[in-house]
Amino acid sequence: MTTHFDYDLIVLGGGSGGLAAAFRAAQHGKRVAMLEPGELGGTCVNVGCVPKKAMWLAADLSSRVTLAAAMGFDVPTRPTLDWKELVVHRQGYIANIHASYLKRLDDTGVVRVPRKGRLVDAHTVECSDGIRISGEHILLATGAHPQRPDIPGAELGSVSDDFFNLCSAPERVAIVGGGYIAVELAGLLQALGSRVTLLVRGERLLERFDAELTAQLAENLRHHGVQLHFNYRLRELRRDGDDVIAYGHDGPAEPRFDQLFFATGRRGNSAGLGLEALGIAIGDKGEVDVDDWQTTAVPSVHAVGDIAGKVGLTPVAIAAARKLMDRLFGGKPQAKMDYENVASVVFSHPALGAVGLTEQEARERHGDVRVYCTNFRPMVQALADGSQRSLFKLVCVGEDERVVGVHLLGEAADEILQGFAVAVKMGVTKAQLDDTVAIHPTSSEEIVLMR
């Protein structure tokens, strides 16, 4: 064990990646200190995945009650929500997570320092109270934050973090953006009572996902009541009484809103960490430059999660952190993060999931591509005269039709995707899937691959 350092590992940031690293290093018997001035759990637990999923569940329940009314149940066609009561339950759930993290830090012997940190040199961190501590290795896991565009009146718009401060659904809402956060907020707010307008800079939603899948998602959102405006260029925001007015290109005829949210990207929390003085490169979006092993230009300084600028997903941050700790302290020199075939889920309504290559990516990389796709109206939508459609798509390559991409839009997409993610990683063929996937007869019309 290294003795001339105070700790074997100093972690800056107590989010998902930082916690995963601290716990794994402690399992390897290492001395660990974690600097985190705020609540444990980072974006995911406090203003991301967890509270978002709670709101998504509420929106999903609202949609199901509406379907139940259409199918003959004696329930209100449009159920009302006591938003404040939901927030109480949501925050209680989050408080339990905080308590669990604190207990585990105590149980594993990780020292929590409720301060910000700044690197003084390759092995020294100065806490915001002036105290310095040293570590053989330093891990940057400080995450990222939402950003506003540089336009006049930008301060009149809210960011995604502000969504979780709402105590009711604003009547008229604009969301600027077309990525994960924009799509999820649009579906949530529309289902919970708002009239939502999506102002999208690009030509379609979720540009990193399969175009056919996102086109169907856009159609579903329209049927749900969301207004979509593509190729939109926001120029300025102005206040008129209680209204926020959006001035842009090819926007809505009535650009007045009670609240406008920016979902226009995030920036890594790298400012003030002292990285530039050590020669650690920082990208245009505040991300720290790391190699395939999560290490910066300084061998003792590493980064995982949103600040590392790889794949901004909580499970990826956790996996990368664990692999890094196994390499540094567990005697596993080959423990390297594989960013290929990472499964991604967007909690739209319904949920959208994908793993592997899109159809376009497969054609660019392999040329010989076979696509199997089905687009259908699920039984519950048909029974309730609903208009929402689901889509299931396999992308296969080569003579053996090896599955390189799976794309889902529909009920339980997040759960179904888990099994298909394993199949893609193992390189199974379409024939092997046909032999192993069992489908209940009543849903046969929903999974027949049409082309």
Written as six digits, the tokens of 210 are: 């399969």
- Nearest Cα neighbor of 247 from 262, 227, 258, 233 is 233
Q: Is 292 exposed, middle or buried (0-12, 13-18, 19+ CB in 10 A)?
A: exposed
Calpha distance 97→41 (Å, rounded): 8
Helix-helix angle 83-108:49-70, to 10 degrees: 140
Catalytic residue among 98, 224, 407, 440: 440
Calpha distance 408→21 (Å, rounded): 32
Calpha distance 330→317 (Å, rounded): 18
Local structure of residue 83 (DSSP, 8 states): H
Calpha distance 393→238 (Å, rounded): 43
223 is known as an active-site residue: no
Q: Which residues contact 62 (CB under 8 A, 6 or more apart)?
A: 79, 81, 191, 192
Task: Give the DSSP H/E element, type plus range, for residue 86.
Answer: helix 83-108
**Buried b or exposed e, range 316-335, using 16+ CB within 10 angstroms:** bbbbbbbbbbbbbbbeeeee
Calpha distance 225→191 (Å, rounded): 9
Question: Which amino acid belongs to residue 113?
Answer: V
CB atoms near residue 301 (< 10 Å): 25
β-pair partners for 369 = 397
Give me the sign of the Cα torsion angle 420, 424, 428, 431. Answer: positive
Helix residue spans in 283-349 (DSSP H)? 314-329
Residues acting as catalytic residues: 440
